[in-house]
A = this chain, B = another copy of it.
Amino acid sequence: MPTRKQEKVVSLNEIKVACQACSLNEICLPVGIDDEDMERLDAIIDRKRPLARGDHLFRVGDRFRALYAVRSGSLKTYATSEDGQEQVMGFHLPGELVGLDAIANDSHPLAARALETTSVCEIPFDQLESLSNQLPGLQHQILRVMSQEIRDDEQSMLTLGQRSAEERLAAFLISLSNRYRRRGFSPTQFNLTMSRGDIGNYLGLALETVSRLFTRFQNEGLLKVERRHVELLDRERLCRFSSANCYPDASSRAES
């Protein structure tokens, strides 16, 4: 990552640090906000103490008060069916926003739980909203982020609806890879913070199928996997397996 223009005054640097640490740097509410506005945005953000693995950030039905940006660690969001079965709806990596689905009814339709030690930034929604009234750039950015979320969900629907087990897992791995790359992590080597069961649940597959596919992918030289650690050896081929373009995913390409 080329260091961004950091020749700035004091308080501004503080924010840069704050939001770089939070991975919010041009990500959560990317671009289109100038430094002064960013300062005001930063002022309303509350940094909470970390969650331990298994802790809930919020539960189903909790009143909606704030959006959350993952600063470090990772979360899963899930619903619970009437028979008590968990339904994993998504995973959230550093720099990603959680809770956008709660705005509509002022209540969280999903629960969010930490997959590992995780810290988040809390963005009180009423404050964000009134701030965005004053800052058209911010308002536009929020709309963009929500639109991107809809887009990503559409992508997931496509994967879940139309793809084979093999294609789903490949697409999942490519998606993770893209999202890690985007945040400056290695796109070819990372740890899965979720269990095989979570992955299977999310992809609509039995956990045994996920396990078998990892083995198969490894035998075919596509990747190397050992417990939670994954190394993508042939990203290109894996990508073709996924029947999806490699880079459209959560990338958004940050506009023109």
- Residues of A in contact with B (beta carbons under 8 Å apart): 79, 81-82, 87, 89, 100-106, 109-110, 129-130, 132-133, 136, 139-140, 142-151, 153-154, 156-158, 160-162, 201-204, 243, 245, 252-253, 255-256
A129, B133: Cβ atoms closer than 8 Å:
no
B89, A158: Cβ atoms closer than 8 Å:
yes
How many copies make up the complex? 2
Residue of B nearest to A204 (CB): B161
A95 to chain B, nearest CB (A): 16
A253 to chain B, nearest CB (A): 7
A39 to chain B, nearest CB (A): 21
Residue of B nearest to A252 (CB): B104
Residue of B nearest to A64 (CB): B147
- Which residue from B102, B129, B130, B204 sits with its C-beta under 8 Å from A160? B204
Residue of B nearest to A149 (CB): B150
Q: A143: which B residues are within 8 A, CB to CB? A: 103, 129, 142-143, 146
A167 to chain B, nearest CB (A): 11
Q: A129: which B residues are within 8 A, CB to CB? A: 136, 139-140, 143
A147, B104: Cβ atoms closer than 8 Å:
yes
Residue of B nearest to A135 (CB): B133
A208 to chain B, nearest CB (A): 16
Q: A109-B154, A150-B153, A153-B153 known; 18 other A-B pairs, CB under 8 Å?
A: A79-B158, A89-B154, A101-B150, A101-B154, A103-B144, A105-B252, A130-B136, A133-B133, A133-B139, A139-B139, A142-B143, A149-B150, A153-B156, A157-B160, A160-B160, A160-B204, A161-B202, A162-B204
| Pairs of residues from A and B, 5 with the lowest C-beta to C-beta distance, nearest first | A161-B204, A103-B147, A153-B153, A104-B147, A104-B148
Task: Pull 13 A–B residue pairs with CB atoms less than 8 Å apart, ordered by A.
Answer: A89-B157, A101-B151, A103-B144, A104-B151, A105-B148, A106-B255, A106-B256, A110-B154, A133-B136, A133-B139, A142-B143, A149-B150, A153-B157
Q: A161: which B residues are within 8 A, CB to CB? A: 87, 160, 202-204
Most buried by B among A105, A160, A256: A105
Q: How far is the CA of A67 from the CA of B185 in the complex (A)?
A: 36
A252 to chain B, nearest CB (A): 6
A239 to chain B, nearest CB (A): 12
Q: How far is the CA of A101 from the CA of B151 in the complex (A)?
A: 5
A163 to chain B, nearest CB (A): 9
